[in-house]
Structure 1
């Protein structure tokens, strides 16, 4: 009896120990499940863009030239200054051109006097012909002299206009408003502009700039396939970016697309007009054009910080219905509002993705998800 009682007691104690140990292991397993923050993707209307390098050209670039020959008497601007249309930029020695005007005026006066005489002579001989006082040949000669005198007046007038124009060229004015470059010649230099015009300086009108850039022909097809680009509002407000931060944000209007593909490069030239209202931009500056090509009405957005990268590309850790971690490769789009990333494929709006502590979880791991916003 005592032996049976002892044996029963030992068996009962062993059973209790096994049960206690089993509960302890179960409790430790539950404690081992990692608590992770997860979130559902946001959705919003997003315009997809491709970024292209480009450079600015001015609204107008005009070379200011000297068209006459003579000593440069004055330069009436500071290098880099903004000048208005019609402002006097240079003065060139004008004495010989002034003399030429006076000579042309004298020749015109002589021609007019000769014409008056020829007219009077013609009228006289024509009247004399009626009484046979002169021959018909004399009348013909008098008429010829009159026509020659009229032609001489036209030639003298043309010579006077040329001389007056050349005299005007001695005062070089700004043909447009804009910024002027440094002068090519110093005051006192001899300008030989009669044979071939000489560039004295250049004017740049920077009030409106054009961003010149090119896109690949397949990207052009993508743009034309997804949108009516001529009526797409986003192409009237194309965002621009720069390598360095500047004071303001700039947007442009896509105004030109070349009618053909450059066969040597496989690209199409485009132009984007920009209003340089703050006068910060300059021709020749490099710019990035973020050209829209497609609009997603319900784009999937996740926190950019939740994305990880491996040799296969970008991926997210997604928690499935069994609260297990699933390694999920994704295809990404552009950044949205600085902190969200567009996901083009890989997850759905109902997917729960891990937002923090990505280094603590692995594929297939059981976790305790906590929904955060």
Structure 2
């Protein structure tokens, strides 16, 4: 019995040791293990930033003109092709000038006749005045001679006007570019007859797209913010970001050039225009754009890396790390992109938060991690 009692006490002691050893292991497991995933974290940057509001708009060529035929006749030549860039004064169409050249010659002959008649009538008038001094003619004869001279002078003016008109019509037979620009396709080809004598006939359209004008509308209430911002920093309106979805969201800088003098009462908006130099020649009349208009400054804006923001069915979120080094799924509300890589956060985190910037696909809510701070934020 003594031997049994000894073995029983030994077994109890061993069990107690095992139990205490198990409790110790459980307690130590509550600490961050050396095997915990290391993740980079940062504090949000806090800066004063210019905020923008997006407005839809459309582009217009700097200048646009219809190329028209103003005389009747057959088109003889069309030296350009649709889409060509042409210089100012380039010949675009020639219309058969035969009848108009004849009209010019006839008008020149009529003018020569009128000049000759005037020369004769003026000499006769001078002679009549001398004859009147010797009573060889009556005063009425002198009056008649003067009238004939004045009629001949008027005939010269009519002939000059007719000659100028015929020369103008002849000049219309050669249709030239009014300014440098890009040509549309022609509505009529060589051999077609133009009936432009009664009313001009559109033959093509030319676009000066050396710079593009963006037209968009701003609400009356928002425009007041624009005015206040412009008063503080006018230079920002010389570099308004404009994106082109048709160009892969390419971003250009536009300068504000026009503000409508009155509000459109039917829409409650102001019309604004901005100009973009078309240096690469890629922009065209009629393109849809998004204008990111500066509307004010936000002091102490909270900024995080845009690449650290995730999106799910509930919206945008970041992973933050708590004081106990636990990953926390944190929904946020975001604003616009800033300096191409930072996103404004309007709600969800503060400047003191730590958010995960690496291993985004490896972390999950409630996970214990080993955070490595890569910056202290800008405060």
TM-score when normalising by structure 1: 0.84
Which of the residues 111, 114, 125 maps onto 1:111? 114
How far apart, in 2, do the equivalents of 1:170 and 1:204 lie?
A: 22
Unaligned runs of 5+ in 2: none
The equivalent of 1:334 in structure 2 is 336
How far apart, in 2, do the equivalents of 1:175 and 1:20 lie?
A: 97
Q: Deviations over 1:293-318 (max 9, x none)?
A: 22346532212344355776544454
The equivalent of 1:267 in structure 2 is 269
The equivalent of 1:29 in structure 2 is 30
SS state at 1:163 partner: helix
| Cα 1:216/1:313, change in 2 over 3 Å | farther
The equivalent of 2:160 in structure 1 is 157
Q: Deviations over 1:180-203 (max 9, x none)?
A: 222211211111111111111111
Matches of residues 301-316 of structure 1 in structure 2 within 5 Å? 301-308=303-310, 313-316=315-318
How far apart, in 2, do the equivalents of 1:324 and 1:249 lie?
A: 40
How far apart, in 2, do the equivalents of 1:244 and 1:108 lie?
A: 60
| Cα 1:87/1:226, change in 2 over 3 Å | closer
Quote the offset at 1:352 in angstroms.
Answer: 2.2
How far apart, in 2, do the equivalents of 1:74 and 1:306 lie?
A: 63
Which of the residues 84, 87, 93 maps onto 1:84? 87
Quote the offset at 1:207 in angstroms.
Answer: 1.0
| Cα 1:278/1:75, change in 2 over 3 Å | same
Are the equivalent residues in 2 in contact too, given 1:227–1:294 (CA < 8 A)? no
| Cα 1:198/1:310, change in 2 over 3 Å | closer
Q: Deviations over 1:41-74 (max 9, x none)?
A: 1244533222222222111111111111111122
Quote the offset at 1:354 in angstroms.
Answer: 3.8
Quote the offset at 1:219 in angstroms.
Answer: 2.8
Are the equivalent residues in 2 in contact too, given 1:36–1:354 (CA < 8 A)? no
1:128 aligns with 2:131: yes
How far apart, in 2, do the equivalents of 1:82 and 1:369 lie?
A: 60
Q: Deviations over 1:5-24 (max 9, x none)?
A: 99999998898677555433
TM-score when normalising by structure 2: 0.83
Which of the residues 160, 172, 177 maps onto 2:175? 172
Segment drifting more, 244-253 vs 143-152: 244-253
Q: How many residues are aligned here?
A: 367
Are the equivalent residues in 1 in contact too, given 2:182–2:206 (CA < 8 A)? yes
| Cα 1:366/1:76, change in 2 over 3 Å | closer
Are the equivalent residues in 2 in contact too, given 1:254–1:270 (CA < 8 A)? yes
Quote the offset at 1:170 in angstroms.
Answer: 1.2
Unaligned runs of 5+ in 1: none
Matches of residues 152-301 of structure 1 in structure 2 within 5 Å? 152-228=155-231, 231-245=233-247, 250-296=252-298, 298-301=300-303
Matches of residues 91-102 of structure 1 in structure 2 within 5 Å? 91-102=94-105
Which of the residues 44, 56, 59 maps onto 1:56? 59
Over the residues paired in the alignment, what is the CA RMSD in angstroms?
3.3
Are the equivalent residues in 1 in contact too, given 2:68–2:200 (CA < 8 A)? yes
